[in-house]
């Protein structure tokens, strides 16, 4: 924790971009090593249905990141009014293609498509998002190992470890239980017995967060976690990326986390900002998952 002469104590702010850069360089080195050894590179394909601006933006961020590290990538674009059979056919072909190691179906899908049916058809061996039920099941069951862990959840643990934060024996509280972060990060913490206590909270979360050494948020509510919810010195990992209307910004909104940063930074010892915290790390973890898949496919250690 730092001390500012005017504003009092201030938490160390985790630089997600730096951590992401380190992960990317490690992935890039491994990919060069793989190319030299087996003459192959990892390949990620993203299935994008419809013309949502935000989805296009997310997909292009992923593609750009792939380019940076040497992962070949492509987008299969389908019209917003395509049939479910068409999507299933695309996914099924990608499942069978041995040159493809990671397949992502970009969410959300148009409402006429059965998201669950499409996810279930995906090959768990190419499920670099880690959302397939069988991968989530293996993550949940003690003694099993999933082929992939959801990127944002893996990033939370990674950020803690790379920031030198000891998890073992600590009170960790996870607020929210989406399949993207809350559920898998809780399962990771529980499975490894790294945390003394880890809970999903539905009501009165502040009663519990005040006891926590580490708070991980996954709620999608801007600034929900206030400074007075936190124990002084707590570690705060904020996975929220909430768009808040802001006429002063070019696109008419700014991104904010689940945590009221201005308050929390004065109470916490370490905190991830939004943007620039967990987001960049999560993209790098997707690259790392895709590399892992290619390594498995080519039995390259």
Residues serving a catalytic function are 62, 106, 129
**Closer to a copy of itself at the Cβ: 52 or 179?**
179
Of the residues 190, 206, 223, 242, which one makes contact with a copy of itself according to CB under 8 A:
190
Could you say whether residue 142 binds a copy of itself (CB under 8 A)? yes
**Closer to a copy of itself at the Cβ: 108 or 252?**
108
CB of 171 closer than 8 Å to CB of 199: no
Distances (CA, A) of 97 to 104, 225, 293: 14, 45, 13
Interacting residues of 10 by C-beta distance below 8 A, sequence separation 6+:
1, 2, 3, 4, 265, 266
The token duo for 288 is 């790392």
The token duo for 206 is 């502040």
Of the residues 75, 140, 165, 210, which one makes contact with a copy of itself according to CB under 8 A:
140
Dihedral of CA 205/209/215/221: which sign? Answer: positive
Site string for a copy of itself, 46-65 (x = CB under 8 A): --------------------
CB of 173 closer than 8 Å to CB of 212: yes
The residue assigned the tokens 């499920």 is 127
Could you say whether residue 183 binds a copy of itself (CB under 8 A)? yes
Could you say whether residue 198 binds a copy of itself (CB under 8 A)? yes
Could you say whether residue 116 binds a copy of itself (CB under 8 A)? yes
Of the residues 108, 169, 220, 252, which one makes contact with a copy of itself according to CB under 8 A:
169
Q: How far apart are CA 134 and CA 140, in angstroms?
A: 10
The token duo for 91 is 């996914």
The token duo for 139 is 């993550």
**Closer to a copy of itself at the Cβ: 142 or 245?**
142
Using DSSP bridges, classify how beta strands 235-238 and 214-217 pair: parallel, antiparallel or unpaired.
parallel
The stretch among 32-40, 57-65, 100-108, 174-182 that binds a copy of itself (CB under 8 A) is 174-182
Of the residues 81, 111, 203, 247, which one makes contact with a copy of itself according to CB under 8 A:
203
**Closer to a copy of itself at the Cβ: 73 or 239?**
239
Distances (CA, A) of 184 to 102, 154, 161, 200: 19, 8, 17, 11
CB of 14 closer than 8 Å to CB of 159: yes
The stretch among 29-37, 58-66, 81-89, 192-200 that binds a copy of itself (CB under 8 A) is 192-200
**Closer to a copy of itself at the Cβ: 69 or 180?**
180
Of the residues 23, 113, 136, 156, which one makes contact with a copy of itself according to CB under 8 A:
136
**Closer to a copy of itself at the Cβ: 204 or 248?**
204
CA dihedral in degrees (170, 175, 177, 179; nearest 10)?
-80
Chain residues binding a copy of itself by CB under 8 A are 116, 120, 131-142, 144, 169, 177-179, 183, 187, 190, 193, 195-204, 208
């Amino acid at each position: 924790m730092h001390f500012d002469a005017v504003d009092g104590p201030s938490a160390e702010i985790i630089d997600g971009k730096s951590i992401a850069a380190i992960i990317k360089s490690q992935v890039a080195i491994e990919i060069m090593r793989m190319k030299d050894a087996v003459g192959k590179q990892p390949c990620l394909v993203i299935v994008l249905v419809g013309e949502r601006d935000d989805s296009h933006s997310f997909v292009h961020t992923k593609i750009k990141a792939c380019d940076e590290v040497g992962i070949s990538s492509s987008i299969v674009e389908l019209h917003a009014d395509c049939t479910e059979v068409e999507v299933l056919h695309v996914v099924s072909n990608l499942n069978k293609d041995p040159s493809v190691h990671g397949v992502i179906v970009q969410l959300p899908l148009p409402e006429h498509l059965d998201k669950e049916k499409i996810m279930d058809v995906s090959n768990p061996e190419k499920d670099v998002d880690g959302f397939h039920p069988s991968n989530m099941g293996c993550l949940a069951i003690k003694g099993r190992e999933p082929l992939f862990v959801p990127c944002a959840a893996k990033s939370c643990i990674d950020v803690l470890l790379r920031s030198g934060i000891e998890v073992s024996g600590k009170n960790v509280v996870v607020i929210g239980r989406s399949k993207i972060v809350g559920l898998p990060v809780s399962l990771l913490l529980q499975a490894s017995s790294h945390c003394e206590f880890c809970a999903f909270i539905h009501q009165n979360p502040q009663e519990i967060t005040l006891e926590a050494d580490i708070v991980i948020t996954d709620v999608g509510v801007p600034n929900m976690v206030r400074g007075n919810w936190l124990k002084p010195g707590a570690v705060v990992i904020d996975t929220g990326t909430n768009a808040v209307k802001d006429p002063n910004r070019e696109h008419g909104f700014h991104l904010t986390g689940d945590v009221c940063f201005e308050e929390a930074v004065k109470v916490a010892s370490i905190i991830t900002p939004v943007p620039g915290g967990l987001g960049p790390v999560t993209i790098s973890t997707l690259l790392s998952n895709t590399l892992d898949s290619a390594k498995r496919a080519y039995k390259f250690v």
